[in-house]
Structure 1
Amino acid sequence: MKQISFLFQIFLVFLLLSGCNQKPEIGLLMDTIARERWVKDRDAFVEKVEENKGTVIVKVADSNPDVQFQQALELINNDVDVLVIIPVDMVVAAGIVKMAKNKNIPVISYDRLIKDSDIDFYVSTDNIKVGEEQAQFLTTVSPTGNYVLIGGPTSDNNSYQLYLGWMNVLQPMIDKGDINVVGSKFVSSWEGNDGYKMVKEILDSGETVDAIIAGNDALASGAIQALKEKDLAGKVLVAGQDADIGAIRNIMLGDQTITVYKPIESLAYNAADAAMKLAKGKNPSDNMSFTVNNGHRLVPAILLDGQVVNKQNIRMTVISEGFVAEQEIFE
């Protein structure tokens, strides 16, 4: 009997030691890695979590909200310590948050705000400010003329925030009659083909276009392709965001005017740091006072600034910070 008791005590000690050595497990739900910026987000996030003695399970939904829901269900059923979500669809993602919270799993909304949900933390850029920067740059160059606005999908809250930023700058100029918006809509995806189709349709109608503001560089790239077909590339101002290598090349060629560089490494590191704190039962928002209203609650948040990149400052921004290598631009 004493021997059984002794063995049982050893077993308990083994369990305790195993629990102490167990690494926090973070689930990262991603929309896509088809564009390079998301590969950079993933790699930086994983690197930082592993540096802090955690592990990451990455799931990529390939822009399918139903797939993301099933991937979330799998991670939740496997009892990950924290869920970090780059939502495909903010409504579906709100359902994911509800499932996670039912199992007491903390949730971080990354880059895109999940509205009407009980998320614990939000890490992103100030997307309204990004939109303002895009519009401010183009209107400084061309304070009059015909503008086209290509918004992202309505399933992504960032689309609305960018549009709000654009209109904060453009509306007074529209009211004065200096700027005429000849095309404005939210397209179905963040992919280049949607930007191409929208701009092609406007140009085929015979409308003159002086400037295009696009929700991201992929949409901007599609717009540029439509401009090329009319021999207008380089003659129309084009703004995007994300600082994709293709956009940097387009800027060097003169086909794109600006992009906005997001501090992806800082975004990923802040999200990873918050995830590890939540996994250890700590509050990542200690000593923070900034919050964002997601329609359900005031969410502790970190919003970082983007930076406008144009032909004159490429070397001083994305190249000097190691975001892109100079040889990549000219290969």
Structure 2
Amino acid sequence: MRHVVAALVAGLMTMSLAACGGDSDADTDSFTVGLLLPSKAIPRWEHSDKPLIEKRLKELCDRCTMEYANAESDARRQQQQVISMITKGVSVLILDAADTKALRSSIREAQRAGVPVVAYDRLAEGPISGYVSFNGAQVGRLQAEALLKAMGEEASRGSVVMMNGDATSPNAAWFRSGAMSVLAGKVEIGRSYATQGWSTDNAYANMSAAIAALGPDRISGVLAVNDAVAAGVIAALKTAGVRDLPPVTGQDADLDAVQRIITGEQYMTVYKPFKAEADAAAAMAVALGRGEKLDDIATTTTDSPTTKGVPSILLTPRAVTRDNIEQTLIKDGVYTIDQICTPKLRQACSQAGLTG
């Protein structure tokens, strides 16, 4: 009897395994994607990118699951998160590296474990399998062009303060190089700073130093790399008693930045359609999880300092000023007029042509 039972169990296991092997959906559509984002200092990561990626993953692969972690600007923590996700058995990682160089060894660990990595928004070093971002040089050019327009005749008289991104991010250099391709020879760069952690507090400290060194009257414009940095810049200018604020740029279309644009405190931001970026990353992750190549998804290739010819998608950013909020952010469903136009901003919104 024991032999008969054993034979029956063995037969059932064989049938079960054979059924799984014959069902390609069971093999390819039941995996976990790990999503690792770099910080909570920039609102878009938690408010836009995470939910958009999760939603698109489910649309592309309804039996797939997502594991999520945020590094909170700590590269060592993110290294541990990568290893933890590999240990949990994720099939593919979407990684926005808190420090692109520091994460190189962790990406190698993922490769050794057979876990492909899609670099998201920042070009991580190491053996990545795909890359999705926006054209960083174009981001910088849009900021610089808008700044020159806003400064007008003041461009030739005063100084511009460059409030760049974190020096550990390759995007920071990419943005700056795009901006300088427009500004070089047209304005005097009075001061230039790297903003550690892309932090509002660090931007405030750097801008306060620039005001002390140059004097508020000599600052004709501020090229702030993103909206979190712009918030620190504007706060420092106000603290210094500057009432007629110089034009200040931004990036990421954060809600509070859009509201500052409505009130005239911030001149512009760069809108990077997050849904398109999230959709592209999810498509790459699902393809890699299914063991497919990225030839039909990637539109170009990118060389990192360690890897040549990475299949890539580089999307197009858009400049947003007070004049085109409705045609960009509201049209794309990023925000509603009610979200932007709180009771205290209704008059400013009305003047900007934003009415519900």
Q: Determine whether 1:209 maps to 2:219.
A: yes
> What is the CA deviation profile of residues 103-145 of structure 1, one whole-angstrom value per residue up to 9, with x for unaligned ones?
1111100001113x11110000101110011001111232423
Q: Determine whether 1:120 maps to 2:133.
A: no
User: More deviation in 292-301 or 306-315?
Assistant: 292-301
1:299 is matched with 310
1:320 is matched with 331
Q: Determine whether 1:172 maps to 2:185.
A: yes
| Contact map agreement 2:163 2:192 (CA 8 A) in 1 | yes
| Contact map agreement 1:239 1:259 (CA 8 A) in 2 | yes
1:153 is matched with 166
Picking from 19, 26, 31, the partner of 1:24 is 31
Query: TM-score of the superposition, structure 2-length normalised?
Result: 0.87
Cα gap change, 1:289 to 1:324, in 2 (>3 Å):
closer
**Secondary structure of 2:210's partner?**
helix
Q: Determine whether 1:61 maps to 2:71.
A: yes
For residues 284 and 13 of structure 1, the distance between their equivalents in structure 2, rounded to whole angstroms, comes to 34
Cα gap change, 1:33 to 1:285, in 2 (>3 Å):
farther
Gaps of 5+ in 1: 174-178
Gaps of 5+ in 2: 343-356
For residues 315 and 301 of structure 1, the distance between their equivalents in structure 2, rounded to whole angstroms, comes to 30
Cα gap change, 1:266 to 1:289, in 2 (>3 Å):
closer
After the TM superposition, which residues 105-254 of structure 1 pair with which residues of structure 2 at under 5 Å, given as runs?
A: 105-115=115-125, 117-142=126-151, 143-144=155-156, 145-173=158-186, 179-207=187-215, 208-232=218-242, 234-254=244-264
For residues 196 and 162 of structure 1, the distance between their equivalents in structure 2, rounded to whole angstroms, comes to 20
How many pairs are equivalent?
325
| Contact map agreement 1:234 1:256 (CA 8 A) in 2 | no
Cα gap change, 1:202 to 1:287, in 2 (>3 Å):
closer
Picking from 262, 265, 269, the partner of 2:275 is 265
Aligned amino acid, residue 283 of structure 2: D
Query: TM-score of the superposition, structure 1-length normalised?
Result: 0.93
Aligned amino acid, residue 28 of structure 1: L
| Contact map agreement 2:41 2:228 (CA 8 A) in 1 | no
Q: Report sequence identity in percent.
A: 29
For residues 186 and 285 of structure 1, the distance between their equivalents in structure 2, rounded to whole angstroms, comes to 37
User: More deviation in 29-38 or 126-135?
Assistant: 29-38
User: Over aligned residues, Cα RMSD in angstroms?
Assistant: 1.7
**Secondary structure of 1:161's partner?**
helix
| Contact map agreement 1:234 1:255 (CA 8 A) in 2 | no
Cα gap change, 1:65 to 1:287, in 2 (>3 Å):
closer
User: More deviation in 44-53 or 2-11?
Assistant: 2-11
1:9 is matched with 11
> What is the CA deviation profile of residues 187-238 of structure 1, one whole-angstrom value per residue up to 9, with x for unaligned ones?
2111111111111111123432010011110000100001112333553010
The structural deviation recorded for 1:35 is: 3.2
> What is the CA deviation profile of residues 81-100 of structure 1, one whole-angstrom value per residue up to 9, with x for unaligned ones?
10110111111211111000
The structural deviation recorded for 1:72 is: 0.6
| Contact map agreement 2:150 2:267 (CA 8 A) in 1 | no
For residues 241 and 177 of structure 2, the distance between their equivalents in structure 1, rounded to whole angstroms, comes to 31
For residues 229 and 114 of structure 2, the distance between their equivalents in structure 1, rounded to whole angstroms, comes to 38
For residues 278 and 14 of structure 2, the distance between their equivalents in structure 1, rounded to whole angstroms, comes to 38
For residues 266 and 120 of structure 1, the distance between their equivalents in structure 2, rounded to whole angstroms, comes to 19
1:50 is matched with 58
Aligned amino acid, residue 38 of structure 1: W
Picking from 276, 282, 295, the partner of 2:292 is 282
For residues 5 and 264 of structure 1, the distance between their equivalents in structure 2, rounded to whole angstroms, comes to 55
Q: Determine whether 1:81 maps to 2:106.
A: no
Aligned amino acid, residue 327 of structure 1: D
Aligned amino acid, residue 180 of structure 1: E
User: More deviation in 104-113 or 163-172?
Assistant: 163-172
